[in-house]
Structure 1
Amino acid sequence: MVERIARAVRRFAPAAILAASVLALLIMRASDWRGDEYTYSAMARAVGEWLRGSVSGRQAMQAIFGTGWFMPGIALIGAPPFVLTDDPPHWLQRGWLLAINLGLTALLIRRFARQFGPRHAALAMLFPGLAAGWYFSALSWFPEITAGLLSTLALLAGWRCAVRISRGSLPEWQDVAAMEVCLIAALYLRGPALLLALALNGFLILLAVLAMRGALPRLAAGCLAIALALAPWSIAASRHFDATVITTTNVPLVLADGFGDPARTCFGRCPAGRDIWPAWQFAQGRAAQTGENPLVVERRMMRASLSGLSPRTYLRTVRANFARFLFEPSHVARLFEPVMHGVPPGMRAGLLAFVALATWLLYAPMLAALLLANVARLRGGDGQRLQSLLIKLGTAAAFAQPFVHKSSGRYWVAFAPLMAWSAALLIAAWRDRPGHRRHSAVAGVLDAAQTTYAAAFALAALVLLAA
């Protein structure tokens, strides 16, 4: 039964994904930018104008640095339409971004098929490929989908490395390189990908210490590659802002906005405005008055805002963040409703209701699969054990966000591939035959790691629910 469904999905899903892509582009073709899209588009415009010779490299870098809140990857990816023309229409920009995300999705599906077989590939086609809400993010400037796809490709390459290490073999150079390239690309799209890069490399190094120490030089070379790739941005950003910057500069204001007291953030209440812009403008003004570095002012603002934060209030805020983070999968579609000029106003509510329903029908079981995979201990051979641990590692990296950031339903698309992977793995574990299992000398350690993580995950959930 499962195999017949998988075959049907593989047969019909590509046409359905293509049709959904065309329909979504028609719906969004005339939509204005929302929120961070203005900044991302301006960054890409600067790169495109530099490539056309309209502005100097210095001017382009000034636009890319901006406030320091964003990594430059989306500017590089989104630049080609601005190379073709100085004012590309919105539909061309959105279509280009959709094409990139569909291309990475196709690459991920192919990799799932090669590593784990057609069942995994079918689940990756089904979700998020047939989740209606996914396309609104795929057509936007928001980098979460692209970074999430690259992060999952890195985890798959990490799995190939881990399997060989667990069996006492050296990881292939091309697998180490593929993992690090995907991590670097994801990191240049989103600063929080640094957490995954550290966790995945740390996991492989620990596994090598236990099972195959000869793999350590190759893994160390991979870590060095990430450091060298990130260094140009970090050095340039640090010079531009005259302060140490690893990825982005917005952490103090984000923490103050997400968890602090609004009456204290600007050493009093901040002026009215959207998001963290009023606090940033206040910091710029105060720095101009005092001669301090604005980033130093922002850190003082953060400390003032968080000074009265109690553990209970923090946990309740994190719980509210998770509620939005996990249970608003049509958030981005609703975000575009006021500017969805390609759809008559009278039809927008009905369209969004359909999008929400169609998304939830797939999203709910896939979310359940992800949560179950995070508390399950799978023992169907080392391959399953390592899949289970890497899904857990990827989830932990993604789920760190609500602990440090005011979160929303915009971000689920970043870990959507992990949801499909979890569902495929659980089905495989259910149908696994004991005779097909292969165990290594570190199988017991992998089982203990799964058990420890599952207990910590469940405990964290209980603490948040009880707060």
Structure 2
Amino acid sequence: MRWLRGLGRPDRVLLGLALAHVLVSAWVFTLVGDGALHGDEAAYADGGRALSNLARDLGSLRAPDTAELSRNVVASGWFMPGMAVVTAPWFLVVPDGDVAGLRAYLAVVSTLLLLLAAWRVRRVLGAVPAGALLVLPGLVPTWAAFSMGVWGDLLAGLVVVLLLCELVVVGRGLRAGTAPSVGRGVGLGVLAVAAVYLRSSTSLLVVGLGVVTVLAAVLLLRGRERLRGLGVAALGGVAFLAVLAPWSIAASAALDAPVVTTTTVPTVLANTFGDRDEVCFGPCDPGSTLWFSPLRYARETGAATGTPETEVLEQMSTHARADVTPGSYSRDVLRNLHDYTKDPDRFLTWLGAPSGPSRTLAAVLTSAMVWSGFAAGVALLLTVARRHRDLQVLGVLLTLSLGALLTQPFVHVSGPRYWTTAAPVLGLGAAWVWAVARSRREGAPYPAGFTPVPDAPPGREGVDAAYGTWLVRVQALLAAGCVAVAVGVVGLAVLG
């Protein structure tokens, strides 16, 4: 145990929080470990089985079963194959394993990724944000339950944390006038596309962060370093597209239509903001769900007319949304936001947690912690850091990330599944808000528990001062934008 005694107090606390997460996960597993697959989980699991069969075929030098891949991995193009890739190793080793084994495997995978994210946050940002991440989401019971589910939302949120850490490192280099290395640029592209593979709704987030990083490189670098920085950014984009290409090509070929990420947007918009009684140019088949009935209708119509089902879905969506007004749209957004934030513990029930004191305790803890996270998120969106350049950069990155994730209610039916992606950002946001409040105290040093960053190197003082001015302006603009959007949505909902 000499290594434990050699750890400083902050790292011993982090180790304790990591063990607490393991204990919470073990407790929650007793509640939901044998719960049947729910909803989209079955589709993701079928994709994992298909990829494991592909690995067996390739290992045995047999021709792959392309029909199975088309049917269970691409299917209707609704789901990115990230979770199919994650579950494939389990099905490769245990092809006939039960649901409890699959959930235990996913709990281990998510725990390892959480610990990796916390370790990276500790190295880049400091002990306080790493601890915040291990608490929110690490100690939230429903997040632990969701970590055992065959959905990609939760893992995507942790990948976003890794991406943010790398962007902070890049930002420090840019501040010193140094372009990132080729390896770091390619790594950023791979992390970004990994988040998209796990949850396609992170596309706006990774594109936005990429654009901001490129702009920062153009403004902060000079001469050869600027050219090098733009070249590295291009390589990162190439890496992103190269990893995305196999899915896009396969899905486009299977569906006979261009597919970049997923094909759900038309149906989602129709069901979220349109008249559901007109989605199928009238009522859809009442014997199925609001997602599968339109798909079945589009397939039958497409087969009868020779039109790709994706094109039919676009036409159906346009028809269903013919009467959408700014007022009706705003009311739907507010309803979605309400559904996003209410009942954050609902998946305990959906994953089969039995009624009793344990589930009640898990639900109460989840609600208290998640709603506290939402409060920290509001503070993050409205706070401006005026001191310490690193805090300013982190504030911009976290605000952009949370803002991008909160576009969900503006484009999609929402529910308590989606906060799991934003939860790690909320945890880091809570630590950031605390740090900014501490730094505002007169004469306060760099916030304890955050990694201190040296001042700008000699010769860069003027550029750094201008950089700080612009960071304050960007934060203020983002905060004002959040307020304007909120006031606009509420105003249109009431007056429209």
TM-score range, shorter chain: over 0.9
| Compared CA separation, residues 365 and 311, structure 1 to 2 (3 A) | same
Q: Tell me which residue corresponds to 2:450.
A: none
**CA apart distance, 1:5:** 11
- Pick the aligned partner of 1:58 from 53, 63, 66: 66
Q: Tell me which residue corresponds to 1:377.
A: 384
Mapped contact 2:34–2:100 kept (Cα < 8 A): yes
Partner-residue secondary structure (3-state), 1:187: helix
Moved over 3 A (4+): 4-9, 172-175, 349-352, 433-439
Q: Does 1:121 align with 2:130?
A: yes
Equivalent-residue separation in structure 1 for 2:434 and 2:183 (angstroms): 30
Equivalent-residue separation in structure 1 for 2:365 and 2:445 (angstroms): 40
- Pick the aligned partner of 1:428 from 426, 435, 441: 435
Superposition RMSD in Å: 2.0
Partner-residue secondary structure (3-state), 1:243: coil
Structure-2-length-normalised TM-score: 0.88
| Compared CA separation, residues 5 and 127, structure 1 to 2 (3 A) | farther
Q: Tell me which residue corresponds to 1:271.
A: 285
Q: Tell me which residue corresponds to 2:461.
A: none
1:204-242 CA-to-partner distances (Å, cap 9, x unmatched) read 111112111342211121112112221222122111111
Q: Does 1:25 align with 2:32?
A: no
Q: Does 1:419 align with 2:434?
A: no
1:381-420 mapped onto 2 (5 Å cutoff): 381-420=388-427
Q: Tell me which residue corresponds to 1:445.
A: 470
Gapped regions of structure 2 (runs ≥ 5): 1-7, 447-452, 457-463
**CA apart distance, 1:349:** 5.0
Mapped contact 2:32–2:348 kept (Cα < 8 A): no
- Pick the aligned partner of 2:218 from 209, 225, 249: 209
Mapped contact 1:155–1:179 kept (Cα < 8 A): no
Partner-residue secondary structure (3-state), 1:217: helix
Gapped regions of structure 1 (runs ≥ 5): none
**CA apart distance, 1:351:** 3.6
Q: Single out whichever of 202-211 and 349-358 deviates more from structure 2.
A: 349-358
Give the letter for the 1:175 counterpart: R
1:196-275 mapped onto 2 (5 Å cutoff): 196-212=205-221, 213-214=226-227, 215-272=229-286, 273-275=288-290
**CA apart distance, 1:274:** 1.8
1:29-178 mapped onto 2 (5 Å cutoff): 29-53=33-57, 56-62=64-70, 63-178=72-187
Equivalent-residue separation in structure 2 for 1:160 and 1:7 (angstroms): 21
**CA apart distance, 1:336:** 2.4
Q: Does 1:298 align with 2:305?
A: no
Give the letter for the 1:49 counterpart: N
**CA apart distance, 1:434:** 5.7
Mapped contact 1:287–1:297 kept (Cα < 8 A): yes
Equivalent-residue separation in structure 2 for 1:86 and 1:94 (angstroms): 14
- Pick the aligned partner of 1:359 from 362, 366, 377: 366
| Compared CA separation, residues 6 and 369, structure 1 to 2 (3 A) | farther
Mapped contact 1:389–1:450 kept (Cα < 8 A): yes
Equivalent-residue separation in structure 2 for 1:34 and 1:288 (angstroms): 30
Identity of aligned residues (%): 28
Mapped contact 1:166–1:207 kept (Cα < 8 A): no
**CA apart distance, 1:29:** 2.4
1:140-179 CA-to-partner distances (Å, cap 9, x unmatched) read 0011011111012111111111222133221234432332
1:236-289 CA-to-partner distances (Å, cap 9, x unmatched) read 211111111101111111111111101211000111222311111111111122
| Compared CA separation, residues 8 and 80, structure 1 to 2 (3 A) | closer
